[in-house]
Amino acid sequence: MRTAIFGFMLLLLTSVSPVAEAIDLRELRMINHQVNLDYQRQQQTGQRYSHSALAKYHLVRQRFPDARMMITHAQHVTPSGYEIEPHTVVTVEADNRIWVMDYELLNIYTAEDRRDLKPVTSIELRGDQVWIHHNHRDWSIQSSQPADPATEARLRSTLLNSAS
């Protein structure tokens, strides 16, 4: 009887829970590696980092359209605790982890591996809405709010336009 109840509950849970898209971490690494190399070769560094984050966002969105992704503004923290240059990274949720696609490193890392980054805010396009999240130090979401109409229009345009 227990087996039948357990089987029924498992079937019920799998039928109502959203299906998570499988993400090939090797492909995420390849996207991060290639975009970083392409953008490191550019002469102008002023917009190189934010543009590489958008390029990664678009490539991951094309390859894994249902993946949960965010563009995260993070602060680089030295081992002594000083906060220095800001970072813009792409974070992708896969395998019950948050993977960080950074502009300066060729590999991808879990949020736990990137203790030198302190996430501040994230932007996420979820459904038909643009969300702005405020993050905890552990990369979890502390609070969220929908973007105001003007910000949403600008971000939606940026996030949905194909990479050039």
Domain locations along the chain: 21-161
Provide the whole-model pTM. Answer: 0.77
Q: Give the model confidence (pLDDT) of 130-162 as tens digits.
A: 999 999 988 999 999 999 999 998 888 888 775
Across the range 112-126, mean pLDDT stands at 92
For residue 84, what pLDDT band results from cuts at 50, 70 and 90?
confident
CA trace torsion 115, 116, 122, 125 (10° rounding): -70
Residue predicted with more confidence, 16 or 113:
113
Mean pLDDT computed over every residue of the chain: 81
For residue 75, what pLDDT band results from cuts at 50, 70 and 90?
very high
Specify the CATH class of 21-161 in words: alpha beta
Contact present, 93 and 67 (Cβ < 8 Å) = yes
With a cut of 80, say whether residue 7 has pLDDT above it. Answer: no
DSSP 79: T
Across the range 113-129, mean pLDDT stands at 91
Whole-number Å distance between alpha carbons of 151 and 132: 10
Contact present, 63 and 27 (Cβ < 8 Å) = yes
